[in-house]
Amino acid sequence: MKFDGKLVLITGAATGIGRATARRLGQLGARVVIVDLNGEGAEAAAKSVPGGKALAFRCNVANDREVADLRREVESTCGAVDILINNAAKPPVTGSILNTELDQWREAFDINVLGYLRTIRAFLPGMLERQAGHIVNTSSALALLPDPPIRFMGPYIASKGAQLSMSYAFAHALSGTGVGVSVFCPGITATAEMPGGVPPTPPPGMPAPEEFAIGVPKRRTVRVPAEYAANVLIDGLEQDAFLICSQAGYQPDLIAFATAGYDPASIVGEARGELSASVGR
């Protein structure tokens, strides 16, 4: 895949991986549309893209009308979208199974799953008509390798798993149409919205940030800059890869996980006792 002259729309691109991806694509000659709920942040991110070929739009991907308006505004202002990168996300809400409210589940799915579906339904018809285009859904390495921290992040990880499965389904559905699908699973990434790539300070009774590393192999706790994750994504797209992951060494770990019957306990390893102690608190 080449990016020079292509129009790439990225949701959730005011900060983090989305912003870093926009900047890198600008360097590669792409015209970039930055979309974010934070309109001022989107404008600032657009100004940071090299080449002066970026525009910003404010949009709430959880709102049907706003997504429909976004399509009309982008197509009238910029033309047809060649590559859609779904990157907007509802950050993790930490809590146990019983004290996570249903509204928190609904919000996670409305943004992380239905938000992706809304933008796909908005821009896919044009791609199908041209028989050309590409869709990227940003999931998570935790959807591939369910490390113990997910015990605190039910809504988030369930929505990330849905993004992965949805990408499988859409890749099948769009086979032979000229429209490709990729799913990006970033590992732990240091972003502005989550300093150091760890969850924010929790409310009383919720797990402390250091508990998120319990039971996780040390090599999977290494935080990488957003720029690194963005470069991995772009390298994968250049190679026309379906599954792209910025978690170092994920392929051998994924094979071992599959061999162990996809049992989450199988990837805890020697930290199993430490995990058990944490769960019992």
In a domain, 2, yes or no: no
Task: Single out the catalytic residue among 156, 168, 228, 250.
Answer: 156
Provide the number of structural domains found in the chain: 1
Tens-place pLDDT, residues 103-112? 999 999 999 9
In a domain, 160, yes or no: yes
> Residue 27 is part of which domain span?
7-279
In a domain, 98, yes or no: yes
Strand ranges inside the chain, DSSP E: 7-11, 31-36, 54-58, 83-86, 133-138, 179-185, 189-190, 224-225, 243-245
**Active-site residue, 156 included:** yes
In a domain, 1, yes or no: no
At residue 74, what is the residue type?
V
In a domain, 74, yes or no: yes
The owner of tokens 């910025």 is 246
Backbone angles phi, psi at 17, to 5 degrees: -60, -40
Q: How many Å is the maximal CA-CA distance in the chain? A: 58
pTM score above 0.85: yes
CATH number at residue 103: 3.40.50.720
In a domain, 237, yes or no: yes
In a domain, 177, yes or no: yes
Tens-place pLDDT, residues 27-54? 999 999 999 999 999 999 999 999 888 9
